Each structure stands twice: as structure tokens, then as C-alpha cells.
Amino acid sequence: MGKYLMQMPLFVERLAQTIGALHSVRIVSRKLHTDILRYALDSHPEVFSVWSVWEPNAFDGRDDEFRNQPGHDGTGRFIPSWHRAGDQLELHPVQDYERQGRGDWYWIPKKTGELCAADLHAAEIGGSIYWITSEIAPVLAAGRTLGVVGIDTLASAPAPGSSDARSSRLAKRSIPRVRVLNANEQTAGLLRLTKREREVHYWLCQGKSNEDIARILVVSPHTVKNHIDHIFQKLGVENRYAAALLHPSRTTH
């Protein structure tokens, strides 16, 4: 088991890259991507659950059509989660992703664009409470996080009566400690970037000038300059080259 656990960050990162590559060439079948997650779980018995959460309408622009369908909630967002239930694999929608704090396993990798790990925490999955650890990788496109892919490793089986109200409250109070893997003082600054600053940062890393970025984002060059000043301040760097070195696409995990 120890050997498997050491491989979990690499496993989830490659899974996210595969899903992101399919999405980038407009392969956006929800059934296909859900089946990919199921196959990933079925092929790795050391993993308890495999899941994904996408930003609103980021997967295929069809959230309204999928409200309350299997693997979805009332928002219709693409949020499938496969987990083990005895000898079977069951599909449920991910829960609590919209709650910062409780849902930091989603918010932190989404905001940093970095591979993350969530330490031991309680989670409600398929109506039962489990103690799990998680690894999460972002799905990135043009400086934006479209969604995340995650895997959970089971720490203990559900307690008897784990679906009762008291256990459900326990899970909702369990705030996971989420760590950015291979983080340092500079990459921690990525947490402080706004959504627009992350987009400017991405295009800066592609070698685009302020004028180029302004045309891409449909803003003024002066606005871009202000964003870049804020990016330098938050990342603790003094020039574009140093800022570019901190982009997730330039780091090796």
C-alpha cells in the first residue's frame, strides 16, 4: 500500500492531463468522461473514489440540460464521483464543492492551478461518512482552471449509522487541511491572485506584451499594466521573467 500511496499525486495529475487534453480538442461527452473516471477507479484497487468538479458551464455549456441527472445535482454542473460500495462501483454527484473552508479541496487547487493534497478529513459520499485523504489536480486552459480531478484514499470504513444526522453534521464540520504540493513562498502567492490576474499571468507567461494581453482579454493596456503590478506584488517578484517561472506549467511535480 505504501508504494501505491507514493504514486497517488502522479496518478491524479496524469488523469487530469488526459481529461484536459480530450477537452481541448472538443471531446466533451459527459458519458465518455464519466466512463474514464470509472475505468481509472476500477483499474486502481488502492483508490476508494475518483471524481471531478467543473466550473459552471465550463465542460460543454450544457449544465441546464443535466440538472438532477445521474452524477449531477440541481445545478447541472459536471461533478461526477465514482466510489467503491462493496464489490460495486457507484456514481454520485460530488458534494460541498461550493463551500469555501469545507470545500477547500476544490477551491485551493482551482485558485492556485497547482497539484494539491487534502489531509485526513470526514466526507459524506453516497450517503455515508468516510475518513479519507485526497489528491487533487487542476484542469487548466489559457490561464483558467476549468475544473479539478481528484482521488480519495480510504482511511477507515464508515461507522455504523454513518448516514444519521449526527454523522452528517460531523462531516460538514470537518475542514480539510489542503496543501499545495511542492509549494514555496512564491507559489503560495498564487492563492492571492484574482481570477483576472491569473488570466493575465498566464498570457504574460506565454510571452505576450501588455498590448497583446489587452486585445485578448478585451481591456485597456493600462488595465493590464495595473494587473501586472498587482501580480508582481502578490508573487514577490520584480519582473516578467520571474513571474513566468512561477506559473504551474513551468513547474515539475
| CATH number of the domain to which 226 belongs | 1.10.10.10
Q: Are residues 169 and 221 in the same domain?
A: no
C-alpha cell at 130: 468516510
Which is more confident, 8 or 22? 22
pLDDT exceeds 50 at position 2 = no
CA distance 51 to 79: 7
Confidence at residue 158, expressed as pLDDT on a 0 to 100 scale: 56
Residue 114 sits at the vertex; the CA angle it makes with 112 and 115, to the nearest 5 degrees, is 140
**pLDDT interval class at 4 (50, 70, 90):** very low
Q: Are residues 144 and 210 in the same domain?
A: no
Of the candidates 98, 113, 79, 89, the residue with the CA atom closest to the CA atom of residue 182: 113
Q: Are residues 235 and 215 in the same domain?
A: yes
pLDDT in tens, 157-203: 555 555 544 555 555 566 888 988 876 555 567 767 887 888 898 88
Query: Stretch 220-245: mean pLDDT, rounded?
Result: 89
The region of weakest confidence among 2-6, 25-29, 127-131, 148-152 is 2-6
Q: Are residues 20 and 116 in the same domain?
A: yes
pLDDT exceeds 80 at position 223 = yes
The domain of 133 spans 2-181
Confidence at residue 157, expressed as pLDDT on a 0 to 100 scale: 57
| Bridge partners for 118 per DSSP | 134, 178
Q: Are residues 76 and 109 in the same domain?
A: yes
Q: Are residues 13 and 106 in the same domain?
A: yes
Confidence at residue 238, expressed as pLDDT on a 0 to 100 scale: 87
Confidence at residue 251, expressed as pLDDT on a 0 to 100 scale: 41
Query: Stretch 225-233: mean pLDDT, rounded?
Result: 92
| Bridge partners for 156 per DSSP | 131
Report the mean per-residue pLDDT for the chain: 85
Mark which of 132, 159, 181 sits at the end of a domain.
Answer: 181
Start-to-end Cα distance in the chain: 21
The DSSP bridge pattern shows strands 80-85 and 88-93 to be antiparallel
**pLDDT interval class at 249 (50, 70, 90):** low
Confidence at residue 1, expressed as pLDDT on a 0 to 100 scale: 39
CA distance 52 to 247: 23
Q: Are residues 130 and 62 in the same domain?
A: yes
Mark which of 181, 208, 224 sits at the end of a domain.
Answer: 181
Mark which of 158, 181, 204 sits at the end of a domain.
Answer: 181
Q: Are residues 135 and 190 in the same domain?
A: no
Q: Are residues 170 and 213 in the same domain?
A: no
Confidence at residue 6, expressed as pLDDT on a 0 to 100 scale: 45
Q: Are residues 170 and 230 in the same domain?
A: no
Confidence at residue 89, expressed as pLDDT on a 0 to 100 scale: 97
Q: Are residues 174 and 194 in the same domain?
A: no
pLDDT in tens, 202-218: 888 888 899 999 998 89
Number of domains comprising the chain: 2
Confidence at residue 150, expressed as pLDDT on a 0 to 100 scale: 97
Q: Are residues 89 and 166 in the same domain?
A: yes
Confidence at residue 252, expressed as pLDDT on a 0 to 100 scale: 36
3-state secondary structure of 74: coil
Output the domain CATH number for residue 149. Answer: 3.30.450.20
Confidence at residue 243, expressed as pLDDT on a 0 to 100 scale: 85
Q: What percent of the chain has pLDDT over 70?
A: 84
